[in-house]
């Protein structure tokens, strides 16, 4: 026990241990897992594609769906608007893990058209990869669509009422051009903020989804290493999560600036 | 701005992808022909290393058996049968064990398997500091007399050695790999299958392909074995129901759902659960020194109700620690301590503890959440206040064995050979006899068992069993039923004394 403590550096004061870890971490060395001696960097690199596949897949699907139904509801209003509202409330009411369980039972088990669990790496089998992501992405996307489509709908309605839209229409600009170039662009900044918040939320939502679908991602790694007290791996996953959050925020700021010159000036 | 062409390209790519996915089967698993099917198992654990010296029992055996043959093969009824060793025999006083090994076996790296290789493996297991190193504690030296004769000299008689050599301590690895830096990830044995690294992703799946040069084709019922670690039991059941896996370990909680889903359910005796009193000498909790207090605790627990409500009725109430398969088992002892609060109270009063006392025991999130409050309430009826000390699941076992607690609530496997329970729980140096308790009666009985032949040991084991129950060394509640589920594509035979069936017990369904 004593020999192992020395080997792991646990005999040193906490601050020294932290400095040792930090000085290695900034050089890209996150240490080795206490459980199996595997490098933390390797463990994370091995699993990050899974979590990113789910998170990015969910964002892509939810943005695409929200854009279509949010804008349609904002432009057409009436019955369509009400249907979108009902879907949104439904999406907010049903938690992702519940939806995941329902989807597994009906789509995977009863109909047998998609795998119930597991992950196939893209490099091994692109079709298998795609199939293994459908249910996890769909169960997470519903909640994301609910919030996002509402945001797009209200931004669309607000923008459509602006004087310059009336001016543009009066100049005979085609409606699709007005919507895509002007309405969408003005509705984008608050929407992007929600997308970035969704993405960050997905990193934690993935923990539950990864358990249900037995996906070997960062979420399940964090859970296993936390319960087994594997501190280097826990620290590694936290660091990676922080880096992802910072990168997503920077990316959102950049895209906002690209879309909206006013943001660039300020 | 996204151009129209790129949108079209995107659509085209998506359509192709969907087309591919429609063609590809999402249902791997067995086809009907023996030897050509794939056996896919869901596991609740994942090995941290493929080095046999670091391996464990329980569910881990399914990861190791495809690659590593053992000296002895455990037959499904828990008895030892030949494998790499064709036969074995003891000397007159059971301190020298001689093996005759097969001469037609090669490791998958081309090295020959012989007595020298077996010796190298046993020597290494004994000194490598793995979690099961104690399995070879009685092994003093190993001699390779010639290529096929291996002699094990023991410091003391060890009736469980043979059964142990059918598990981790008997895994044979190519000695050439001992110094290989990749020993944790690239196992090399003589087994029926080889780990295929190209189809293996840690955390997701481990793929084993047929070893074409294997010496016993009968043990190769499948073309490949795939093991998928899935920690969540519901995820495993979903995978089984949707045809992604063919077999999985389960708990009693899902058994009724499984039966409704037309999953094949194999039930066999699993762990016994109950209190293990470490402090029979009364150093930490002086009250436990009095056998009447330990007996009172046996009477105070309503085992039947707990088994029905918490264990969903899947198991059998008992008061003894020995397996029904072992020669130590006495059926009547299952009912030795019924639920009798009046009797428990009077025993407490006789022992001078009518007002009760406080007992500290560790608990963790890995325990059934209902268990701690139920046991606390049961003991409170006879004045014993349980102070549950919550510890992390990871540290639970180490904490239980730390010597800080006079008693623990725990579950233990029931080896088919009584000596397994002795070396685990009863002997003064047993890992779970934490405070090294013993007494002259037990010492004398253990000595008698060690010297007795297998045929004569039965009555002595039974004497030991009666004494342990009478002295209330333990307070066993019940033996739980261990379910194992399979799909209709495979058949399986339960393995006595092992948490999961051996891979040899699976065959494609006829």
Rg (CA), chain A: 23
Mean pLDDT of B162-167: 92
Query: Is B26 touching A (CB cutoff 8 A)?
Result: yes
Find residues 286-315 of chain B whose CB sits inside 8 Å of chain A: none
Separation CA B87–CA B94 (nearest Å): 16
- The CB density around residue B460, as the number of other CB atoms within 10 Å, is 21
Is a pLDDT exceeding 70 seen at residue B180?
A: yes
Is a pLDDT exceeding 70 seen at residue B165?
A: yes
Is a pLDDT exceeding 70 seen at residue B112?
A: yes
Q: What is the pLDDT of residue B224?
A: 96
Strand pairing category for B490-492 and B506-508: antiparallel
Query: Is B27 touching A (CB cutoff 8 A)?
Result: yes
Is a pLDDT exceeding 60 seen at residue A167?
A: yes
Is a pLDDT exceeding 70 seen at residue B351?
A: yes
Separation CA A68–CA A66 (nearest Å): 5
- The CB density around residue B115, as the number of other CB atoms within 10 Å, is 21
CB spacing of A214 vs B20 below 8 angstroms? no
Q: Which of B23, B184, B230 sits opposite A117 (nearest CB)?
A: B230
Query: Is B131 touching A (CB cutoff 8 A)?
Result: no
CB spacing of B241 vs A109 below 8 angstroms? yes
Separation CA B158–CA B430 (nearest Å): 13
CB spacing of B204 vs A119 below 8 angstroms? yes
Q: What is the pLDDT of residue A203?
A: 77
Is a pLDDT exceeding 90 seen at residue B424?
A: no
Mean pLDDT of B504-508: 95
Separation in Å, CA B156 to CA A164, B162, B258, B272 = 96, 14, 47, 28
pLDDT class for B311, splitting at 50, 70, 90? Answer: confident
Query: Given the structure tokens 């990864």, which residue do they identify?
Result: A210
- The CB density around residue B40, as the number of other CB atoms within 10 Å, is 27
Separation CA A252–CA A246 (nearest Å): 10
Residue B144: closest CA among B166, B167, B168, B112: B112
Q: What is the pLDDT of residue A265?
A: 61
Higher-pLDDT residue of B184, B507: B507
Query: Given the structure tokens 């029926």, which residue do they identify?
Result: B192
Enumerate the residues of chain A whose CB falls inside 8 A of the CB of residue B204: 118-119, 121, 216
Q: Which of B23, B26, B230 sits opposite A115 (nearest CB)?
A: B26
CB spacing of A214 vs B235 below 8 angstroms? yes
Contact at 8 Å (CB) between B135 and B124?
Answer: no
Phi and psi at B119, nearest 5°, equal -60, -45
Q: Which chain B residue has the Cα nearest residue A218?
A: B203
pLDDT class for A244, splitting at 50, 70, 90? Answer: confident
Phi and psi at B11, nearest 5°, equal -60, -45
Enumerate the residues of chain A whose CB falls inside 8 A of the CB of residue B393: 227-228
Q: Which chain A residue has the Cα nearest residue B25?
A: A128
Q: What is the pLDDT of residue B355?
A: 93
Digit-coded pLDDT (tens) for B5-47 = 443 344 444 433 333 333 333 344 444 445 689 999 999 888 8
Digit-coded pLDDT (tens) for B460-484 = 999 999 999 999 999 999 999 889 9
Is a pLDDT exceeding 80 seen at residue A4?
A: no
Q: Which of B49, B239, B244 sits opposite A36 (nearest CB)?
A: B49
Among A183-187, A246-250, A251-255, B362-366, which stretch is predicted with the lowest mean pLDDT? A183-187
pLDDT class for B245, splitting at 50, 70, 90? Answer: very high
Digit-coded pLDDT (tens) for B484-501 = 999 999 999 988 878 899
Separation in Å, CA A22 to CA A19, A32, A36 = 5, 14, 21
Q: What is the pLDDT of residue B32?
A: 43
Count helices and strands (H / E) in chain B.
14, 19
Listed ranges A82-96, A233-247, B384-398; the one with the highest mean pLDDT: A233-247
Cα dihedral sign, B365-B369-B372-B375: negative
- The whole-chain average pLDDT of chain A stands at 84
Element (H, E) at B7: helix B4-23
Higher-pLDDT residue of A166, B171: B171
Q: Which chain B residue has the Cα nearest residue A120?
A: B204
Separation CA B64–CA B154 (nearest Å): 26
Higher-pLDDT residue of A36, B215: B215
CB spacing of A127 vs B24 below 8 angstroms? yes
CB neighbour class for A120 (10 Å; exposed up to 12, middle 13-18, buried from 19): buried
The helix/strand/coil state of B176 is helix
Query: Is A46 touching B (CB cutoff 8 A)?
Result: yes
Among B138-152, B167-181, B249-263, B436-450, which stretch is predicted with the lowest mean pLDDT? B249-263
């Amino acid at each position: 026990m004593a020999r192992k403590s020395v080997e792991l550096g646990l005999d040193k004061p906490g601050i020294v241990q932290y400095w040792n870890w930090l000085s290695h971490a900034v050089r890209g060395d996150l240490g080795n897992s206490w459980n199996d001696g595997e490098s933390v960097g390797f463990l994370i690199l091995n699993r990050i594609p899974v979590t990113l596949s789910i998170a990015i897949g969910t964002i892509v699907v939810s943005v695409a769906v929200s854009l279509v139904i949010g804008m349609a509801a904002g432009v057409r209003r009436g019955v369509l608007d009400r249907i979108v509202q009902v879907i949104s409330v439904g999406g907010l009411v049903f938690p992702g893990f519940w939806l995941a369980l329902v989807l597994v039972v009906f789509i995977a088990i009863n109909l047998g058209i998609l795998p119930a669990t597991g992950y196939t790496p893209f490099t091994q089998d692109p079709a298998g990869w795609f199939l293994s992501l459908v249910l996890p992405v769909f169960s997470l996307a519903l909640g994301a669509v609910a919030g996002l489509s509402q945001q797009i709908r209200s931004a669309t309605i607000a923008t459509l009422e602006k004087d310059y839209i009336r001016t543009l229409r009066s100049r005979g600009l085609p409606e699709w051009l007005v919507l895509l170039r002007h309405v969408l662009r003005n509705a984008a900044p608050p929407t992007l903020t929600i997308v970035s918040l969704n993405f960050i939320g997905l990193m934690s939502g993935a923990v539950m989804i990864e358990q249900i679908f037995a996906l070997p991602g960062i979420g399940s790694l964090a859970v296993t290493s936390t319960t087994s007290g594997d501190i280097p791996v826990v620290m590694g996953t936290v660091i990676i999560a922080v880096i992802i959050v910072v990168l997503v925020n920077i990316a959102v700021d950049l895209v906002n600036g690209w879309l909206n010159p006013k943001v660039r000036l300020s | 701005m996204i151009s129209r062409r790129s949108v079209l390209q995107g659509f085209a790519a998506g359509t192709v992808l969907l087309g591919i996915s429609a063609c590809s089967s999402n249902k791997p698993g067995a086809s009907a022909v023996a030897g050509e099917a794939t056996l896919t198992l869901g596991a609740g654990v994942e090995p941290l290393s493929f080095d046999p010296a670091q391996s464990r029992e329980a569910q881990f055996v399914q990861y190791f058996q495809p690659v590593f043959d053992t000296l002895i093969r455990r037959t499904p009824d828990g008895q030892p049968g030949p494998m790499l060793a064709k036969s074995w025999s003891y000397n007159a006083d059971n301190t020298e064990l001689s093996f005759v090994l097969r001469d037609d076996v090669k490791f998958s790296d081309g090295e020959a398997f012989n007595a020298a290789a077996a010796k190298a493996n046993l020597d290494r297991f004994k000194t490598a500091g793995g979690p099961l190193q104690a399995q070879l504690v009685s092994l003093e030296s190993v001699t390779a007399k010639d290529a096929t004769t291996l002699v094990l000299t023991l410091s003391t008689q060890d009736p469980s050695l043979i059964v142990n050599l059918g598990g981790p301590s008997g895994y044979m690895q190519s000695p050439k790999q001992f110094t290989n830096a990749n020993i944790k990830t690239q196992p090399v044995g003589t087994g029926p299958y080889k780990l295929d690294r190209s189809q293996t992703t840690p955390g997701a799946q481990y793929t084993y392909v047929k070893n074409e040069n294997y010496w016993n084709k009968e043990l190769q019922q499948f073309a490949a074995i795939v093991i998928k670690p899935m920690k969540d039991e519901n995820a495993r059941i979903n995978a089984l129901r949707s045809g992604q896996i063919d077999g999985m370990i389960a708990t009693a909680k899902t058994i009724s759902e499984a039966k409704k889903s037309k999953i094949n359910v194999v039930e066999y005796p699993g762990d016994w659960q109950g209190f293990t009193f470490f402090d029979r000498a009364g150093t930490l909790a002086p009250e436990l020194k009095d056998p009447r207090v330990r007996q009172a605790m046996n009477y105070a627990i309503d085992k039947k109700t707990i088994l029905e409500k918490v264990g969903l009725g899947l198991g059998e109430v008992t008061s003894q620690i020995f397996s029904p398969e072992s020669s130590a088992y006495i059926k009547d002892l299952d009912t030795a301590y019924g639920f009798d609060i009046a009797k428990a109270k009077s025993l407490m009063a006789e022992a001078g503890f009518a007002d009760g006392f406080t007992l500290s025991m560790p608990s963790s999130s890995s325990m059934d959440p209902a268990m701690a409050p139920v046991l606390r309430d049961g003991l409170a009826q006879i004045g014993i206040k349980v102070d549950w000390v919550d510890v992390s699941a990871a540290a639970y076992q180490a904490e239980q064995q730390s010597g800080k607690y006079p008693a623990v609530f725990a579950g233990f496997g029931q080896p088919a050979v009584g000596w397994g329970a002795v070396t685990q729980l009863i002997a003064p140096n047993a890992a779970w006899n934490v405070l090294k308790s013993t007494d002259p009666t037990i010492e004398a009985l253990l000595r008698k068992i060690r010297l007795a032949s297998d045929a004569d040991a039965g009555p002595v084991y039974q004497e030991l069993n009666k004494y342990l129950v009478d002295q209330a060394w333990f307070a066993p509640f019940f033996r739980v039923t261990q379910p194992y589920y399979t799909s209709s594509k495979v058949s399986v035979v339960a393995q006595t004394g092992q948490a999961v069936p051996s891979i040899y017990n699976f065959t494609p369904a006829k």
